[in-house]
Structure 1
Amino acid sequence: MTNVEYTHIDINGTSGAGGLGCEILKNLALSGFKDIHVIDMDTIDISNLNRQFLFRSKDVGKPKALVAANFIMNRIKNVKITPYFGKIQDKDEEYYMQFGLVICGLDSVEARRWINATLVNMVDHANPESLKPLIDGGTEGFKGQARVILPTITSCYECSLDMLGKQITFPICTIANTPRLPEHCIEWSSVLEWPKVFKDKKLDNDNPEHVQWVYNTAFQRATEFNISGVTYSLTQGVIKNIIPAIASTNAIIAASCCNEALKIATTCNPYLSNYMMYIGNDSVYTYTFEHQQKEDCPVCGNIAQDFFANKETTLEEFIDHLADTQQVRIKTPSLRTADKNLYLQAPPQLEEATRPNLSKTLKELVLDGEEISITDPGLPFSVKLKIRY
């Protein structure tokens, strides 16, 4: 079999060498892939052991990438797995250029956007080897998806950003004054009460002592309002935005990803074109379709997106809106037009100099039809919007 190198990437803990990652690593090694790299920044928690089968109780606290690599190499001979305990952003383009293909099993939209943009930026059409196929897998309870991305050729991850569901949030007035759900009590405890009690100390949702405090405080508030259902596991889920992982879903999506990797590596069959959805709530259902590339994609396209805005909106309100806008989803944006800085997050001197613009309306700063460029320190690309009133 062709000796193809593979990289599995994750951030924020639950998929790198976790539920989906364990399945992918096992499948690749048993399929004959000889040179595999795995990146994960997480350590093993006791809660991982029910589905992340490469780990044992004695491994709790150890880096997932290292333990997973050693487990596979001890069980399967003639396979080399190189682990890295850290973030995908720690590596540069030269590192990713060495691989034949990349498989992502991420639970982070930001991480997916980063690796997608990095692989697109690496493409040099004069050098075919610079194009690294990206296989993306993800699970959400009984649902999952697998897709094949050929950077600059097919639609990329950024092209499908508007397919993502909007993250559930609760109004501050509700969680502060009239909680009705256990989630309201947990949000009150973590968002409002924690900073009041601990001042400048940041809540670490991976610290069991912090989670326990949030749970205890939320439980007391729920008791006051006769609300039931506050549990430790729900507390973890709310503050970490966790969707329960289903072992069978992980196995199905990992199998699909590795099947595509095998087809790309050996050309034994045509690979997926280009998106497969799986739903297992009531029965086993899959649907395959070709997601189209967008001309106005900020990563693989080349034209600005039309963005309709109220000219009376202040720049500060506009920036807040960007974080929730499906086509943008940028949390810490810096904004520029062709001839002026609208607002820059850093360095401090420029942030201070552009801060007065936050209270100005868009019509004072941007002309109808004018383009603005939006950047974020966590993303290796800029989003271009053509403002329409």
Structure 2
Amino acid sequence: MHSVGDYVSDESRYAAINKLLDREGPLTDGYQGAEAAKDFLRHQCKILVIGAGGLGCEILQDLALTGFGNIHVIDMDTIDISNLNRQFLFREADVGKSKAECAAAFINKRVPGVKVTAHHSKIQDHPDSFYMQFNIIIAGLDSVSARRWINAKLVEMVDMENPESLKPLIDGGTEGFKGQSRVILPTISSCYECSLDIHTPPTAFPICTIANTPRLPEHCIEWASVLEWPRLRKDVKLDTDDPDHIQWLYDKAATRAAAFNIEGVTWALTQGVVKNIIPAIASTNAIIAASCCNEAFKIATSCAPMLNNYMLYNGNDSLYTFTWEYEKRPDCPVCGGESMEVDVKRDWTLEQLMEWLSVQQKLLVKRPGFMYATGEPLFMWGPPQIHEQTKPNLEKRVSDLVPEGEEILVTDPNLPFNLTIRMTYV
């Protein structure tokens, strides 16, 4: 038994790992040999972990103990007291501090020889050159929008004349006793956007309902967050982790609920609706993290074939796993390479098109805006002057605004890209 700080040679520490690398597996193709694999894994491979929460803590631990020597972790969040029951790299004294920095410090202290570099920032704050330096990227995120962004970014970065620009993305996700891991080879395999419709759909409410005829407490909360916040606090980005922001939304929602004789708006419900809170279970995190790190190990060493390309885990009633190849979606707006074809009824107004887009599970848009292909606004939520100028278009028929076969651009806070759609009138 070695205590923290004791010198342990690589051969001793990684004896079990070396058994996997010292002999070539029966299904390997292009294995470069044990010494080359060990050297790349421990001294050359640079891996990025996105997210240092419940799943991210498990991933960081597994990577460090598997032999990855150069690990980076990025997370914009700080530690809350409620994190401590499952995010085991943190202690009570860390509450309020950066998750990325505390996680990196813990691993660096406990696993000598492994270097973990922390980035306390948003993933969107970094240029392409930041992501280009990594060999493998693992996403341990609980945010669909963040996963869509990194997926779209890695697809966008691929240069067909530069093989080094293709960065394998390993995505892990958990929801209660269910989880999944997948390997995404940007532009080659199906991407994250291809499979949006298999996720548990978030509760979506038509904008017309929340704006004009609310019937549920959730309608009032959505009205406060989707419509009132951008209108009254357009210069402040809504932070769903800020209690003051949640209080503001609760106050607005409660006032609206009272005006429509709706009961049930509470502070806890307000927080649950705007954060789309999903229960997290430590055992599920451990299983999915192990699967993600297993795939990273196989990609880094070529000691065994990687997952092709999706693994589903369900631990609700028993232990069940299944793997399959998730195929590329031909009309995927990220990796499909073409505009999305949409059949629009000839008498639909622009507002009806907006409502239709808002309930499409394969898009997950919330407040879509529209622009002509030339960049001229067709309808925009902001800034206020453009919103007022374009608002009358909502009542006009789409067929009168856009000639058949023409393309328009759809923008939305949830979209990490501008979606191009081409209308066919029926």
Structure 2 length normalisation: TM-score?
A: 0.77
Partner of 2:49: 8
Matched-pair contact (CA < 8 Å) for 1:369–1:388: yes
Partner of 2:103: 68
| In 2, Cα distance between equivalents of 1:355 and 1:102 | 42
| In 1, Cα distance between equivalents of 2:405 and 2:161 | 35
Partner of 2:198: 163
Which of the residues 62, 85, 102 maps onto 1:27?
62
Q: What residue ranges of structure 2 are gaps of 5+ in the alignment?
A: 1-37
Partner of 1:250: 285
Deviation at 1:351, TM superposition (A): 4.9
Classify the secondary structure of the residue corresponding to 2:327.
coil
Matched-pair contact (CA < 8 Å) for 2:46–2:134: yes
| In 1, Cα distance between equivalents of 2:176 and 2:272 | 13
Deviates more, 1:284-293 or 1:201-210: 201-210
Distance change in 2, residues 1:357/1:239 (3 Å): closer
| In 2, Cα distance between equivalents of 1:42 and 1:275 | 28
Which residues in structure 2 correspond to 1:137-152 (within 5 Å)?
137-152=172-187
Which of the residues 63, 70, 76 maps onto 1:41?
76
**Any idea what the Cα deviations from partners look like across 1:321-356, whole Å, max 9, x if unmatched?**
323312333334333246965335566665555444
Deviation at 1:287, TM superposition (A): 1.2
| In 2, Cα distance between equivalents of 1:368 and 1:141 | 46
Deviation at 1:285, TM superposition (A): 0.7
| In 1, Cα distance between equivalents of 2:249 and 2:333 | 39
Classify the secondary structure of the residue corresponding to 1:148.
strand
2:413 is equivalent to residue 385 of structure 1: no
**Any idea what the Cα deviations from partners look like across 1:271-319, whole Å, max 9, x if unmatched?**
0001111111101111111111122221111222221222222213322
Matched-pair contact (CA < 8 Å) for 2:141–2:172: yes
Structure 1 length normalisation: TM-score?
A: 0.83
Which residues in structure 2 correspond to 1:49-128 (within 5 Å)?
49-128=84-163
**Any idea what the Cα deviations from partners look like across 1:64-109, whole Å, max 9, x if unmatched?**
0000000010000111111111100000101100000111111112
| In 2, Cα distance between equivalents of 1:353 and 1:232 | 36
Classify the secondary structure of the residue corresponding to 2:93.
helix
Classify the secondary structure of the residue corresponding to 1:41.
coil
| In 2, Cα distance between equivalents of 1:212 and 1:187 | 17
| In 2, Cα distance between equivalents of 1:251 and 1:352 | 50
Matched-pair contact (CA < 8 Å) for 1:338–1:371: no
Classify the secondary structure of the residue corresponding to 1:49.
helix
**Which amino acid is the alignment partner of residue 122 of structure 2?**
K
**Which amino acid is the alignment partner of residue 114 of structure 1?**
W
| In 1, Cα distance between equivalents of 2:313 and 2:193 | 20
Distance change in 2, residues 1:168/1:353 (3 Å): closer
CA root-mean-square deviation? 3.5
Distance change in 2, residues 1:59/1:121 (3 Å): same
**Any idea what the Cα deviations from partners look like across 1:363-382, whole Å, max 9, x if unmatched?**
10223343333244664533
Matched-pair contact (CA < 8 Å) for 1:336–1:343: no
Matched-pair contact (CA < 8 Å) for 1:65–1:85: yes
Task: Please tell me whether Structure 1 or Structure 2 has the larger radius of gyration of its CA atoms.
Answer: 2
Partner of 1:17: 52
Q: What residue ranges of structure 1 are gaps of 5+ in the alignment?
A: 10-15
Distance change in 2, residues 1:234/1:341 (3 Å): closer
Which of the residues 362, 383, 400 maps onto 1:364?
400
Classify the secondary structure of the residue corresponding to 2:303.
coil
Deviates more, 1:113-122 or 1:351-360: 351-360
| In 2, Cα distance between equivalents of 1:161 and 1:155 | 11
Deviation at 1:249, TM superposition (A): 0.7
Matched-pair contact (CA < 8 Å) for 2:177–2:284: yes
Distance change in 2, residues 1:52/1:304 (3 Å): same
Deviation at 1:214, TM superposition (A): 7.9
Classify the secondary structure of the residue corresponding to 2:311.
strand
Matched-pair contact (CA < 8 Å) for 2:75–2:100: yes
Partner of 1:13: none
| In 1, Cα distance between equivalents of 2:65 and 2:98 | 23
Deviation at 1:38, TM superposition (A): 0.7
| In 2, Cα distance between equivalents of 1:210 and 1:338 | 37
